[in-house]
Amino acid sequence: MYQEIITAAVVSIDIFLSSMACCSGGIRIPPLSAAVIGIICASVMAAAVTVSGLVSGVLSDSLCETLSCAVLTALGVMNITKSVSRCFLRRLAGREELSLHLGSCGIAMRFWLDDTAADMDSSKVLSVPEAAAMALAGSFDCAAAGLSCGGEVSPVITSLCTLVIGISAIFLGTYTGRKISSRFSDLSWAGGIVLILFALYQAVQIS
């Protein structure tokens, strides 16, 4: 169960950071919306771990391990790139104009560049459909972490851990978001570093 908790905690860091960014931007996440995010992330995790178990029975162990580390590292690098891109865009447009400049982008791209884009109707309250869209757009971490498990963890236990830790991360993120300035709310680079470290941890565990 230790591995399941570690996996769930790693993917919940991105949930925490997204919630913190939303709250620092004045967007409230109601309990029902938080539950929707948690359920979707847990479902993606369960599916990814199940697929990982099936694939590990077909491919060689060394290939599965290499692919797992590569996927996690690539996603970590993407998160760091996302943070740099956000910083660059804000310097060009200013934070208050960022959502306007991203208006013509696709939904996934808008979420990738600005967590507060989840509030699509600008109501300052994250509705259930908006929460579902936010969870789906940000579920890559869950999918990557689940696929990296190689069938070594239980899909049920991992998804339950993801649900509990994920919802807790949302409430902790909203609390933290109230305490910090919006200028310091973009810490997605930290999530990327954690994913890369998790990939290294997986490599050490299997070596």
Indicate the average pLDDT of the chain: 79
What's the Cα-to-Cα distance from 88 to each of 24, 29, 81, 117, 157, rounded to whole Å? 19, 27, 10, 17, 40
Tens of pLDDT, residue by residue over 176-197, are 877 775 555 567 777 788 888 8
Length of the chain measured in residues: 207
Say if pTM beats, i.e. exceeds, 0.85.
no
Average pLDDT over residues 110-124: 73
Percent of the chain past pLDDT 90, that is, above it, reads 20
Tens of pLDDT, residue by residue over 95-104, are 444 444 445 4
**Cα dihedral 125, 139, 70, 64 in deg (nearest 10):** 160
Distance CA 69, CA 149 (A): 10
Phi, psi of 143 (to 5 degrees): -65, -45
Q: Is the pLDDT of residue 142 over 80?
A: yes
What's the Cα-to-Cα distance from 187 to each of 22, 39, 58, 114, rounded to whole Å? 12, 24, 38, 12
- Give the pair of three-digit tokens for residue 154: 């239980």
Tens of pLDDT, residue by residue over 13-27, are 888 888 888 888 788
Beta-carbon contacts of residue 180 (< 8 Å; ≥ 6 apart): 20, 24
By residue range, what is the domain housing residue 141?
A: 2-206
- Give the pair of three-digit tokens for residue 98: 């960022």
Longest Cα–Cα distance of the chain, Å, equals: 50
Distance CA 70, CA 150 (A): 13
Alpha helices by DSSP H, listed for the chain, are 2-24, 31-56, 61-93, 95-101, 107-113, 128-137, 140-147, 155-179, 188-206
CB 16 within 8 A of CB 190: no
Look at the chain and report how many structural domains it folds into: 1
Element containing residue 198 per DSSP (H, E): helix 188-206
